[in-house]
């Protein structure tokens, strides 16, 4: 089944309750737009903000029944779980800062709700292990929002690597660089920066937890290899920060593959520069998220190819992830919408796709821990142990 066919096993849209994503938030509204794109999700309840008036205002702006807009996630789970089966939320979406992911997800699972959670899965590895144990015990699906696995050409790149187009994989290079934290904007009223640079709300890592995990999940997904060891160089470039804002590392992956990963938020002038390269014995494949509708395939001895989003020219599953004819660019919202198709398919008994489960979220938390330990140990190699 294609992703959209998976979802069509549902007669009615999946009912979603959202925690976080109140007025002024970044990713909550992105989730709501993406979830609405294909008509497979409808939002029915929320606890959007710890600020009372913002919470109510968000509920109003979404046209929700005020009775289903709650001042706390605990109240939401208790009351919504008691509703009749045809009204209850089918799943809970978590778009709060990182420190709340684990408590909210554990409470949701305990009330019988599947969970679609933002990355990183938790603040630290012990929390992730506990959450995964509960998810496994309940058998309820947990999805993690690795946005970049929602792009059709990322799947095409993986397919081409798996098909042997570039030969046996030898090397990977992935960078995720942004410039928005080049200055200490967390001290001048930027709420998104403030919680990201505070260990109480972000967890044990700064840039590595915020964007490094996207790079890690992307490079593992495309190459088909897992990072086993890291040697990391981390720093707090901006004076006064307690968490890393700039990180470079060497990677060792399964099957003898080697590589590099950079995750930095002090690269002044960069916007959202996530770029991945995978090299095999006979060629390389390259994808950049700021140009997501192009895949570059260079096979030694052949003309270089630019693969575009043309459903007639790409294989499955990329073909069924595209919504528009060739030449009509699709991007970030469509990628997010693909994650919703996958997750709604999964909770409706459809097939799931690799890279988006709580076990993948746990792997990222083990990756973060190894990176932080390696950085603290002057780059000593550390093994990733979930």
Ligand X SMILES: NC(=O)c1ccc[n+]([C@@H]2O[C@H](COP(=O)([O-])OP(=O)(O)OC[C@H]3O[C@@H](n4cnc5c(N)ncnc54)[C@H](O)[C@@H]3O)[C@@H](O)[C@H]2O)c1
Q: Which stretch binds ligand X (CB under 6 A): 75-83, 189-197, 257-265, 294-302?
A: 189-197
27 interacts with ligand X by CB under 6 A? yes
Least gap, CB of 103 to ligand X (angstroms)? 9
Give all strands of the β-sheet with 305-308 in edge-to-edge order: 305-308, 294-299, 283-288, 273-280, 169-177, 258-264, 246-253, 227-235, 382-383
> Which is closer to ligand X, CB of 201 or CB of 237?
201
> Which is closer to ligand X, CB of 201 or CB of 352?
201
Judged on CB neighbours under 10 Å (0-12, 13-18, 19+), 85 is exposed
3-state secondary structure 247-272: EEEEEEEHHHCEEEEEEECCCCCCCC
> Which is closer to ligand X, CB of 53 or CB of 383?
53
Count of residues touching ligand X (by CB under 6 A): 26
* Cβ partners under 8 Å of residue 2, min gap 6: 316, 317, 319, 320
State the CB neighbour count (10 A cutoff) for residue 308. Answer: 14
Backbone angles phi, psi at 116, to 5 degrees: -115, 115
289 interacts with ligand X by CB under 6 A? no
Residue 13 is given by DSSP the state P
Least gap, CB of 188 to ligand X (angstroms)? 15
Token output for 238: 């901006």
15 interacts with ligand X by CB under 6 A? no
Token output for 163: 């098909």
Distance of CA 128 to the CA centre of its chain: 15
339 interacts with ligand X by CB under 6 A? no
- Draw the binding track, 34-73, toward ligand X (x: CB under 6 A; -: no contact): -------------xxxx----------------------x
Q: What CA–CA distance (Å, rounded) separates 257 from 171?
A: 5
Q: Which stretch binds ligand X (CB under 6 A): 96-104, 235-243, 299-307, 310-318?
A: 96-104
Applying CB under 6 A, among 26, 75, 82, 112 the residue interacting with ligand X is 26
Token output for 379: 């780059």
Asked if residue 282 lies in contact with residue 166, where contact means CB atoms within 8 angstroms, the answer is yes
21 interacts with ligand X by CB under 6 A? yes
Applying CB under 6 A, among 122, 147, 264, 320 the residue interacting with ligand X is 147
Applying CB under 6 A, among 89, 97, 259, 375 the residue interacting with ligand X is 97
Tell me the DSSP string of 266-290: --TT-SSEEEEEEEESSEEEEEETT
Q: Which stretch binds ligand X (CB under 6 A): 13-21, 85-93, 226-234, 310-318?
A: 13-21
Applying CB under 6 A, among 191, 268, 354, 376 the residue interacting with ligand X is 191
Q: Which of residues 207-236 bind ligand X (CB under 6 A)?
A: 210
Q: Which of residues 290-319 bind ligand X (CB under 6 A)?
A: none
Q: What CA–CA distance (Å, rounded) separates 120 from 246?
A: 17
Q: What CA–CA distance (Å, rounded) separates 31 from 44?
A: 14
338 interacts with ligand X by CB under 6 A? no
> Which is closer to ligand X, CB of 197 or CB of 253?
197
> Which is closer to ligand X, CB of 194 or CB of 299?
194
Q: Is 220 left (phi over 0), alpha (psi -120 to 50) or beta?
A: alpha
> Which is closer to ligand X, CB of 307 or CB of 360?
360
- Draw the binding track, 104-143, toward ligand X (x: CB under 6 A; -: no contact): --------------xx------------------------
Sites of contact with ligand X (CB under 6 A): 19-22, 25-28, 47-50, 73, 95-98, 100, 118-119, 145, 147, 191-192, 195, 210
């Amino acid at each position: 089944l294609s992703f959209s066919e998976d979802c069509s096993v549902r007669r009615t849209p999946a009912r979603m309750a959202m925690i976080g994503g109140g007025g002024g938030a970044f990713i909550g509204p992105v989730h709501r737009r993406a979830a609405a794109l294909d008509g497979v999700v409808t939002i029915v309840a929320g606890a959007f903000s710890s600020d009372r008036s913002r919470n109510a205002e968000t509920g109003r702006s979404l046209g929700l029944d005020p009775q289903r807009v709650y001042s706390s996630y605990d109240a939401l789970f208790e009351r919504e779980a008691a509703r009749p089966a045809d009204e209850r939320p089918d799943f809970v979406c978590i778009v709060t800062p990182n420190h709340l992911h684990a408590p909210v997800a554990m409470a949701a699972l305990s009330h019988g709700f599947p969970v679609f959670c933002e990355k990183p899965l938790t603040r630290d590895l012990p929390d992730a292990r506990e959450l995964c144990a509960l998810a496994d015990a309940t058998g309820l699906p947990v999805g993690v929002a690795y946005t970049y696995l929602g792009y059709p050409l990322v799947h095409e790149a993986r397919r081409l690597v798996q098909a042997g187009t570039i030969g046996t994989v030898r090397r990977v290079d992935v960078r995720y660089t942004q410039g928005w934290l080049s200055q200490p904007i967390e001290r001048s009223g930027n709420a998104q920066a403030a919680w990201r640079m505070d260990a109480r709300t972000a967890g044990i890592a700064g840039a590595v937890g915020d964007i490094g995990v996207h790079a890690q999940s992307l490079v593992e997904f495309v190459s088909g290899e897992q990072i086993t060891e890291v040697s990391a160089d981390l720093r707090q470039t901006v004076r006064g920060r307690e968490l890393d804002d700039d990180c470079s590392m060497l990677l060792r992956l399964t099957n003898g593959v080697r590589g590099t990963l950079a995750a930095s938020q002090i690269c002044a002038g960069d916007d959202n520069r996530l770029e991945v390269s995978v090299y095999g014995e006979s060629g390389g494949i390259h994808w950049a998220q700021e140009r997501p509708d192009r895949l570059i395939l260079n096979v030694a001895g052949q003309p270089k190819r630019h693969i575009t989003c043309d459903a007639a020219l790409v294989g499955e599953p990329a073909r069924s992830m595209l919504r528009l004819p060739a030449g009509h660019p699709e991007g970030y919202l469509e990628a997010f919408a693909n994650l919703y198709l996958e997750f709604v398919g999964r909770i409706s008994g459809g097939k799931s796709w690799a890279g988006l489960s709580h076990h993948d979220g746990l792997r990222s938390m083990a990756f973060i821990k190894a990176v932080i330990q390696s950085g603290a140990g002057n780059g000593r190699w550390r093994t990733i142990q979930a």
